[in-house]
Amino acid sequence: MPDADTIRLDDLLTDIDRTGPVPLYFQVAQALERAIRSGEVPAGARLENEIAIGKRLGLSRPTIRRAMQELVDKGLLVRRRGIGTQVVQGQVTRQVELTSLYEDLQGSDHEPSTRVLEHDTKPADEATAEALGVAVGSDVVYLRRQRSTDGVPVAVLENYLPVEFADITTEQLEARGLYQILRGRGVTIKVANQRIGARRAHGDESDLLDIDRGGPVLTMERVAFDNSGRAVEYGHHCYRPDLYAFETTLVAK
């Protein structure tokens, strides 16, 4: 039987739009997430069972279940068989997104800017060829950029792209993030394998990041694939560790 502390979701979810293009499960998930983040549904609260919520909203159990699964995957909810569903105690759980640094910085109310340090077409070395799935020595686009936020340098970005992107201009790169440019050309990044580490700053990196020579930098190496499964970007980047870090939410399966 539902306990006294079970949260009911009456008025939170009255605005379901069955005509629009937004999936029902998504609308429910969004409304519930909003209620949790606003504190309307407090941390640790126990939710009603799936059938009851479905009945109240006039939706089937699978639809409700899928909505809740979204929030489980985001680390906001925890489910236990025979027990029920509860809100995770942790404070505002951040979301990991597959975005570029540019959009990351945009989202946090800062004004990102880019200086293109190098922009060439050159033959692929072994690592690049392997990552992009092209022949060693075949042409690839090479980019080296300095990324700043509010005028302070944050990262040095090195990227390799397939030759098909040779017509991207330096002006475009100074105005927008790489992923935004790719999306404008109909290329959607769907999957990325990345590796995060640390090392000393090399060569001109200390000057470009305005840190001590040989000081620590945070590094990220990434291979990104589009929605057809093809590798479209390979990069290794380094970040000023006092200005940037990677936040993640992990969920056990």
Partner DNA sequence: CAGTGGTCTAGACCACCAG
Partner DNA sequence: TGGTGGTCTAGACCACTGA
User: Under the criterion CB under 7 A, does residue 20 sit at the interface with DNA?
Assistant: no
Among 56, 66, 119, 144, binds DNA (CB under 7 A): 66
User: Under the criterion CB under 7 A, does residue 79 sit at the interface with DNA?
Assistant: yes
User: Under the criterion CB under 7 A, does residue 29 sit at the interface with DNA?
Assistant: no
- Residue closer to its own copies by CB (options 1, 250) is 250
Q: Dihedrals φ, ψ of 105, to 5°?
A: -70, -40
Residue 141: contacted member of DNA, its own copies, none (CB under 5 to 8 Å, by partner type)? none
Among 81, 229, 245, 250, binds DNA (CB under 7 A): 81
Query: Could you give the angle at the alpha carbon of 140 between the alpha carbons of 97 and 209, nearest 5°?
Result: 55
Q: Which window, 48-56, 89-97, 101-109, 113-121, contacts DNA (CB under 7 A)? A: 48-56
CA distance 205 to 217: 9
Among 45, 52, 116, 117, binds DNA (CB under 7 A): 52
Q: 230 near 248, Cβ under 8 Å?
A: no
User: Under the criterion CB under 7 A, does residue 230 sit at the interface with DNA?
Assistant: no
Contacts of 216 (CB under 8 A, 6+ apart): 198, 199, 200, 201, 241
Residues binding DNA: number (CB under 7 A): 28
Q: Dihedrals φ, ψ of 97, to 5°?
A: -125, 155
User: Under the criterion CB under 7 A, does residue 31 sit at the interface with DNA?
Assistant: no
- Residue closer to DNA by CB (options 115, 185) is 185
8-state DSSP, 189? E
Q: 1-29 as b/e, with b when 16 or more CB fall inside 10 Å?
A: eeeeeebebeebbeeeeeeeeeebbebbb
Burial class (CB in 10 A: 0-12, 13-18, 19+), 227: exposed
User: Under the criterion CB under 7 A, does residue 13 sit at the interface with DNA?
Assistant: no
Residues that bind its own copies in the complex, under the rule CB under 8 A: 43-44, 75, 77-78, 80, 86-91, 93-94, 96, 98, 130, 133, 188-200, 215-218, 223, 225, 227-231, 241-242, 244-252
